[in-house]
Structure 1
């Protein structure tokens, strides 16, 4: 029987080495160095079980688990937290985030193995066939770290040039002595009309073919900023020439980067939950996004701030406040660079728009529910003072 596959997520190489040595004789093992790396690898690795550290840079294990659970395909995947956090509050937080099991460090490797084996025996989960072997995954990661995946071929949307239309020839006057000339003209007119109609049919067919042919792929841009007005303005300014999604904090950005696979990221330096600097650093360590253009935006615009952003891996730096035209110009400059590519996506632009709409509607319903609950609570408190 094929081995089940376990994804180990921990920022400490020594811990990953111990876990691999413990589990590899019984399971296939794949490693991830942080939450973003884990979320990005899920669809390729297709793990049967995840072992997740909590105290990691960029995004902690609790947030990583929530990101994993937010994806329908991985909503039920078994997750074991392995962490030094041992308080009752931390354990409750872990299970609320979606954990199936919770073990504390330092850990006994033999006990960990027994826990994992018992879980599989008790749940009797069916084995899922994988698209890639572990070796193929390693080769794929190496290939992506050297060179990005092949870009989609851009469709040729050039319109066929149409020459100027010739003016109609004047109809010759009828003369009593020229019946043969009239017959000749009438015949020519019928033939000419047929040729014109055929040309028109061909023109209409070409227009229909162009309309039905796939549009050239547009670059996909993710705009990340905690100011919702700014992200909304950017989305409106960019939506004609780009596929656009937005995020308002670092954790949401990680989730959407993993799901939408943007070609360019516009990233605010100062974000809640996770700074843009931290996210930029993590992206540059990730084989899939290490070359993705990143425009860092910030209200701090000194030469030192710009130098710091570029040193962390930003491709460009844009100081706030900026106009929509400034952003469009920077984006056009990036996509005109020789090395820029539009990469194949797991979901289409239409699917992304539908998903963004679904998320907005869900957030609006949640906000409406919370406001109603707060209103009822305030009413209850007033009546019982």
Structure 2
């Protein structure tokens, strides 16, 4: 199959893409327009929690598409109610609002917190977030993010998001004033380079927000739905947040997100929040299939076993090449390079022959790994062996 340059020219250029077109996928593997296969350890940026085209997801969507796709969010539909019950039954939350993306769920969390502040804290609206955080690409979520340079791209920013330092409680305390309503963070900062918030910091942050009557919002867009080895990352810290957002892995590859809140925080009234596609039965049927797979017997045990294998393998590579170790939680991990050749490693791995490999380098001196949660022991061994070969080629 020839590469369609006319199709490329019809698309807005919003990222630099290699000249290949993926045409099919199965599990941990993708195939391009030339028939070349790629071992995928990006999985749509932690989106494909069950890999590419998992049969349970394909089956659930096919069955639902033949019955009902979108009756409008002005009416109830059974899959949305069934998925909401699963999420509330497995978490500390009581209410769920479904959306289509992590940014949209985070935008909803910001709205909910600000309305709660208007009703309960004399109009408090500021939400403390963190340097190097990533919460989405809407104007409000870009303003909430601490990604370097994002404060100028679409200036002026949305006001009300002072930035603290992760794992530094004093930096949070210093920002709190009478206009503060909440603190919002990722349990593991993904785009920043897979940097976990320590359990001690999370517990201290929960204690501080409780004492001051502030909300604690967790952005679990990347960490939720089994990615860290527990269903939700907040479980590692044994805390109870007030609001949580989910996306990416909850849909297994389709547009689905969730805003979850405890009953006493839920203060939206009719007309405050909505969305044409939100909670439609096609997407929530997919979410049910993903949820039931991840919560199935032994699934998270396997995630933790593969996480230990990946961690040990990355540490071995680090020791061999004189790198700076690895970090992460569950199957969200990073290899800390000793030089800024991450992009070259990614490009070389992708172009490897006869089979390529898809990796991610969110920073020049770091590789991030986000495989399918059901990745096999053999696939992790293969990735580690090929990565060693790629590094050998890149570094001579």
User: Quick check: TM above 0.5?
Assistant: no
Q: Quick check: which one's helix share is greater?
A: 1
Name the larger-Rg structure. Answer: 1
TM-score, with length taken from structure 2: 0.25
TM-score, with length taken from structure 1: 0.26
Tell which has more relative contact order, 1 or 2 (C-alpha 8 A, sep 6+).
2
